[in-house]
Every structure is written in structure tokens, then in C-alpha cells.
Structure 1
Amino acid sequence: MDSATIVPPYVAKPLELMPFRAVMLSPERVGDPASARALARPYRDVATRLTQWIERGRAITDTAPALYLHEYTSGGLTVRGLVGALRVSERAAAPADRAVWPHEAIHPEQAGELADRMSQMSLNPAPILLVHHGPDALREIIGEVARTVPDWRYLDRTGQRQRIWAIRDPDLLDSVGALLATSRCLIADGHHRYAAYLRLQEQHPGTAWDAGLAMLVDQHDTPLFLGAIHRTLPGVSLAPLAEAARAAGAAVTEHQRPRALGALDSTHLVLTDGATWYAVAPGDLARQAAVSWLHEQVLGRLADPLPRVEYHHSVDDALAAASGTTPAVLLPSPDFEQVRAIVESGGLLPEKATSFQPKPSLGVLMRPMNDA
């Protein structure tokens, strides 16, 4: 872990997702890059801007608070989860008390910037993504709701298909709340926004900032795809990188490109500068993610300080950036159960270790703080 990073605090059980009155961009504006203007600088004007958009029909405000079931389909993958105001006002004193588990450390200055931005906007502009393994009874309730007619249904500008149900029945909300209370969840996306929620809650206790917008997805029901984030290392040569991997106890074998890429799996990494290709097999990845092994065992062994790490969400992007002075490190996709086990045993993954996909389009559900 970088000295400039810290572990954000853990929110305590019970896990609570509370109803709120959502603001939504109109369907033709969800996912439209031009819609980002509504949430752009100056941030202090965002609340007024959204009010104007509502008056002009570019956005709507729901009629009453609700807990929302949001389902979106992108690239053939359907994700469904509960969207609500996550209570963040209590901190866990012991691991058994933790409801929300970060799996990466955060940069405090970045969290501070996000907190300032949300404070000026008076808005949670998008939910953080949380994943858990929900109880069967909760999956049954969600399935029953999803079989009814959605309150909103449309295809957005990015091609995502959106379906949203507003859950307002008091008995149903009580049942969902009771089933969520003992859950523990992993942050899939939004570590810095989560830390910003906590900072804003500390600054404004007893207000709407006691909660932050979150979407809770059941990995047993409609799982997010968990992919790798690959690296390139500008200013490093391939040979010393391969030697550092050997010094860390890995078997490093040179191959032609097709065979090297074919070796990329849960037990192998690939190193290349585009001309030379190595398959790398660390000694034991059963209790350690490949990305952690890279950062903790390999990069520190390089003779010269590492100038920086660049991140790529696809193999093609990483290989396009690779050169004789910028080797690529292709990583296997992490396993959700492995990530959860590492985190719950007290470990963390390096920054940008995981890529949970797909994420929902911007503007589907937003939480205004002046009407929470």
C-alpha cells in the first residue's frame, strides 16, 4: 500500500438502505455525455441547474420516497440491485461489526475533493456499487418485485436497458430491512465516494449526510463481472522486470505471443514489451491475488524506483501502450470469493486491482440532499 493512501473506516452493522426521493434524468438524457453539463462546475449551481431541468422536462423528481429496485442490461449482462440511502453514521469497533468492507485503500485528498464537490452540489450524483451474497428470502422478494410491471422502463443513450421499481409498501420495506440488517458487503466501485460520504457525515452529523447513495447487488443473483485491470510501467525495461519476478520465486518462461497469451489464467501473469513474451507462474496464489503479488513481491525488487504505473481495462489497451521502455503486465481476472476472503482476513488489494462491470449509466437515480 502506498504511503499516500489510507484505509477508509468501516460502517457498522446493521446494514441499512433507507428510502429516498430520487431525481432522475429523462430517459433520452440518461447516459448522454451532454447531460454531464448538469453536474459540472460550478458545483454550487448544480441544485439550481437540476431544478431548471425538472421545470423543462429534462429531469423528474419522484412523487415520494422509495427504496428502488434497479435492473440494467448492458452488453448482454443483466445486473439488478437495491438502491437506497446507505446509513454511514456508525463506525464498526471490531471486524464482526463491519457491514461495509472496502477492498482498496484511498487517497485522502481525492476523497476530500469529492466530499467538497458533493457538498456544493447538495447531491449524491450516482450510487456506489456494493456486492454481497444475500439470503434466499431477500432474493425471493426481489424476484417477486421484478416480476411486476416496472415504474420506469426505457433504453438509454448508451444502449443500456433500464427497469426501475419503486418499493414503498411499509411491510415490504420492513421485510427487506430485516433481511439486510446482518448482511456484510464489499465495495465494488466507489471507494473514494464512500470515503467522501464518511467525511461529510462527520462534518454534518444528524443531517441527510448521515447516509450516502448506494446500490447493493447480490453476486448469487445477477452478478457483476469481475475483471482484471492490467498495468504498463513507463521507464522500466522488460529484462529487469522478469528478473524481479524470478527473484520473487516465480517460474518465468519465454514463449511466442500466442502461447504466452494462452497461459494467462488464474495461476499466471504475462510480461511483454511487444517483442518478447514471458509467462510468469508465482509459487502460490491460493491465498494471494496476482495483483498483490506483483506489487508486494516484484515491483519493489526493481533496482530503480518505479516512476509510475498506468492502468488499462483491457488486454488490447495494455498491449497498445507497451514498448521497449514500457513493458505491460497482463493480470488474470480476480475471483470474487478470493477477494472477499482476503479482505475479511484483514488484507487489502492494491489500488485499481479490480474492475466490476457493467456500471449503470449516469443519471438513472440521484439523491438530492435537500429532499432526502
Structure 2
Amino acid sequence: MDDAGSGRPQPDDQTARGLDLAPFRGVRYVPDRVGSLAAVTSPPYDVVVRPDGLHHLESADPHNIVRLILPQAVSPTARTERAADTLGRWLSDGVLAADPVPGLYVYEQHHGDHLQRGVIGALRLSEASEGVVLPHEDVMDPVVADRAALMLATNANLEPLLLTYRGDADGGGGTATVIDRVSERDPLLTTTTEDGVRHRLWSVTAPGEIKEIRADLLRHQALIADGHHRWATYLRLRTAHPSPSPWDHGLVLLVDTVRYPLRVRAIHRLLHRLPVARALTALEGHFRVRTVPGPLDQAMAALGAATAEGNAFLLTGDGAFHLVDRPDPGLLARTVPGDRPAAWRGLDATVLHSVLLDHVWGVPDSPEQIAYIHDTAATVAKAERDGGTAVLLHPVHEDVVRELAQQGVTMPRKSTSFGPKPATGLVLRDLGL
């Protein structure tokens, strides 16, 4: 068990292959020192649409968390140094403060008829993590290196990964029971962000309740719903630091999708240097292309209907919507790797990357060429403004993602977007505590 007095997760002899979630002393904004909690939060770093969203968040409050997760400076080294300096200043000035005792945190998001609750804690990383936490997407090493430099400079986990697990079918069990009990208490904080989501956070500090949650989670494995690059960063930094060390744990949010099913959305592509007209011309003889009526919602509905019959994409950026479907079977056979499961070969993301980007359009997967954007309308707007091509996708079902992950098969990166994602800035983990 952890030393509750130190607040630092301690090594133990636990050999169970499961989710070992430890309490920690959360670092949180002091409400009296900021304009509002909503104004200092941010989406996860890779969801922020740049530069528009970045500027919007920076102007929302001088202490917005985006200044830590996406620091702006002339070089990578200067950026990480700026984040470290900013974090240190906010701590010394009392803008951020650590909770007095270690605990786990129950976190709730509520929007309309959708309610999601989970537990935030410091997840133990080990050699066995590969079989306990299941990734389903590839990562890019430069992004991992960037996140690693930021974590090292700040000595902190600035935002939790989103992990899902499958709890008991009856909805009972230790974690579920504690969450229900805790959510009846007065929360540490309540705020509603500009997207209309209400966020509430509670601390769990009673040893009995912490033990109940930890014992229950040790029976489960998790799927990475959001944060593949940060997960790879956690593992890299753990390997780089002799154990025991604070890097043996990483900040996560665990959500039981039996009780709280996540929404699964697609992540769209913006091809900066490929005009729509050129993209459509290259498709001739390879795919069927039809113009479908708007507005965007109606065009996306047409895309959804087309994906029920096979691979399909929606191209736009020129003021019209072009539905692309019925790929040439011979082209698929020549370009899609045949050494993967059928479920992987049939993914829209697989066909997009292996067939369209690599062979038909010849677009390298680099930040200069491709932007990955979660918001559909924002993708279209940027394509129309910049003269590029927006490639809109239909989401993959969670069961397909989990099936492939359990087989150890990774999907093309940025294939899915699970949500709602945790707001960044509600609770941080300082590795020095």
C-alpha cells in the first residue's frame, strides 16, 4: 500500500496483472486567483485547433493551462523552458496549489443526456503494462519526444490520459460503489466550460475507499481511448529513470464503459497542399465520386450511409461535398497490406493511408502536409480558408477498436476520437510531491 503521508506512490510486491492505480497529491487551481475555473481549462493538447483555438484559450485567462501544455516560443527548448518557468511561477504565486493529502479523484462530465464518471489516479507502469493497457493506434516518435521533453522540464503530468475498462455487467463492484457514494458528497469543484459540459471533481482520501477501488481495478485491463503519445511518453520516461522513481506512474482517468459508454467520433484530415480539384482528378478510375447536397450535417449523413456498404470518405474545401466510395478491388489488393486481420484491412483509416495518401495522392504523413482535426466544422472551415482538402471520415465502432487492440494490432494513428475527453487543468500531478 502507498505511504499516505508522503503522497508519493511507493513500489510494492503486487504481482497481479491489472490496473494498479495509486493516490497522489493533486495540484489544482486556487479559485480566488483565477477569473474562473472554466477560463483556465483547455481540451487535451492535440485537440486544440491551432492557431485559432490556441489564441482563444490564451486570451481567455492569463493562467490558462494551454500555456503549459502548448507553450509558445522560438525553439523546442525555449518552449519547454517557458512551460517549466510558468509552472514554477504559478506554484510560487499561489495560482496553483497541491492538495494537503494524497487521494484518488472521482471526475464527472455531464452534457445534455450524457453522463460520464471515472477515477483519476497515478497508474503504475511496469514490464507487464503491455498486456494491461492496450494501445490501438501507432504513434510518431517526434511527438513522443516533444511530450517527453515537456514532462521532464516541468517534472509533471499536466493532463490525464483517458483509459476505458469493462466493469462488471451488473454495474456493481468496488469502484462503481465508491463512485456512486462519493458523487453524493459536496464536490471539490464545479464548473461549466464554454462547450456546455459541466465538470465536477471529488477527492477520495479515506484508506478504505482507496483500497476498495484499487482492489477492484487490479482485476481489469484498459484500452487507451485518448493519449497514445502520452502513454508512449510515460513508458519512455519510466525506462529512462531507474526504479523506484516518480516516473514509475502516470496520470490517467479510468472510465468503466459498461456503466458510462463513451462516444466514438472520427478524426478528420486536412491536406494542406492538395487542392480539392487535384484530389478529385486523381481519384478517377479508382473510386466512385459523387457530389452530395449540404449542409454539412446532411452530407455527413450521406457519408454514414455509404460506410454501411464499404469504405467511404467525404471530401470538401471548395464549397461542395464530394462523396468518395466503392474503391476498385484490384487497387485495394495491390496497396493494402495483406498480413493484417480483415477488420484492420477494411478500416477507412487503413484505406485512406495505404491507398489514398500513399498511392493515389502521394501525400507524406507529416505535419507540413497533414493536420489531424477532431472538430468536423473546423476541418471544413480551415480547408476552405487555406485552399486545401478536408477528408472527413465516419467513426469506427468501439468493439472493432477493442478487438484489434486485444489482438495486438494497431490502427493507423488518429483513427478514432473517444469522448468526452477530460478537461485539462482540473487536476495536475507534480512528480516532486
Corresponding residue number in structure 1 for 2:3: none
Change (3 A) 1:160 1:262: closer
Cα contact 1:232–1:328 (8 A) shared by 2: yes
SS of 1:364 mapped into structure 2: coil
State TM-score, norm by structure 2.
0.71
Cα contact 2:24–2:429 (8 A) shared by 1: yes
Amino acid of the structure 2 residue aligned with 1:239: L
Q: Does 1:230 align with 2:247?
A: no
Amino acid of the structure 2 residue aligned with 1:308: Q
Amino acid of the structure 2 residue aligned with 1:242: L
Cα contact 1:84–1:214 (8 A) shared by 2: yes
Q: Offset of 1:13 from its aligned partner?
A: 2.9
Q: Does 1:314 align with 2:375?
A: yes
Change (3 A) 1:317 1:177: same
Amino acid of the structure 1 residue aligned with 2:302: A
For residue 116 of structure 1, the aligned residue among 145, 149, 158 is 149
Corresponding residue number in structure 1 for 2:46: none
Change (3 A) 1:241 1:174: farther
Amino acid of the structure 1 residue aligned with 2:357: L
Distance 1:231 1:157 in 2: 26
Amino acid of the structure 2 residue aligned with 1:263: A
Q: Does 1:21 align with 2:25?
A: yes
Q: Offset of 1:100 from its aligned partner?
A: 0.7
Cα contact 2:315–2:390 (8 A) shared by 1: yes
SS of 2:284 mapped into structure 1: helix
Q: Does 1:186 align with 2:223?
A: yes
Q: Find runs of 4+ consecutive structure 1 residues off by over 6 angstroms.
A: none
Change (3 A) 1:304 1:173: closer
Distance 1:89 1:351 in 2: 24
Q: Offset of 1:316 from its aligned partner?
A: 2.7
Distance 1:327 1:309 in 2: 10
Aligned-residue sequence identity (percent) comes to 30
Cα contact 1:21–1:65 (8 A) shared by 2: yes
Question: Which segments of 5 or more consecutive residues in structure 1 lack a partner in the other structure?
Answer: 1-11, 247-251
Cα contact 2:28–2:425 (8 A) shared by 1: yes
Corresponding residue number in structure 1 for 2:134: 101
Cα contact 2:19–2:132 (8 A) shared by 1: yes
Change (3 A) 1:81 1:276: closer
Q: Does 1:126 align with 2:159?
A: yes
Cα contact 1:269–1:281 (8 A) shared by 2: no
Cα contact 1:232–1:329 (8 A) shared by 2: yes
State TM-score, norm by structure 1.
0.82
Distance 1:71 1:185 in 2: 19
Question: Which segments of 5 or more consecutive residues in structure 2 lack a partner in the other structure?
Answer: 1-15, 41-56, 72-80, 333-341
Q: Offset of 1:354 from its aligned partner?
A: 1.5
Corresponding residue number in structure 1 for 2:91: 51
SS of 1:43 mapped into structure 2: helix
For residue 280 of structure 1, the aligned residue among 306, 321, 325 is 325
Q: How big is each residue's C-alpha offset from its partner over 1:242-293, in whole Å with a ceiling of 9 and x where there is no partner? A: 33743xxxxx252432475442114343234544623414679865322222
Corresponding residue number in structure 2 for 1:292: 350
Q: Offset of 1:81 from its aligned partner?
A: 0.8
Q: How big is each residue's C-alpha offset from its partner over 1:14-38, in whole Å with a ceiling of 9 and x where there is no partner? A: 2111011111113424542422377
Q: Offset of 1:62 from its aligned partner?
A: 1.4
Distance 1:44 1:260 in 2: 45
Q: Does 1:66 align with 2:97?
A: no
Q: What count of residue pairs does the alignment treat as equivalent?
A: 348
Distance 1:214 1:303 in 2: 38
SS of 2:203 mapped into structure 1: strand
Map 1:266-277 onto structure 2 (within 5 A).
Answer: 266-267=307-308, 268-272=312-316, 273-275=318-320, 277=322
Cα contact 1:260–1:279 (8 A) shared by 2: no
Distance 2:131 2:405 in 1: 11
Change (3 A) 1:327 1:210: same
Amino acid of the structure 2 residue aligned with 1:170: P
Amino acid of the structure 1 residue aligned with 2:161: I
Q: Does 1:243 align with 2:247?
A: no
CA RMSD of aligned residues (A): 3.0
Amino acid of the structure 2 residue aligned with 1:90: E
Change (3 A) 1:280 1:176: same
Change (3 A) 1:168 1:50: same
SS of 1:141 mapped into structure 2: helix
Corresponding residue number in structure 2 for 1:213: 251
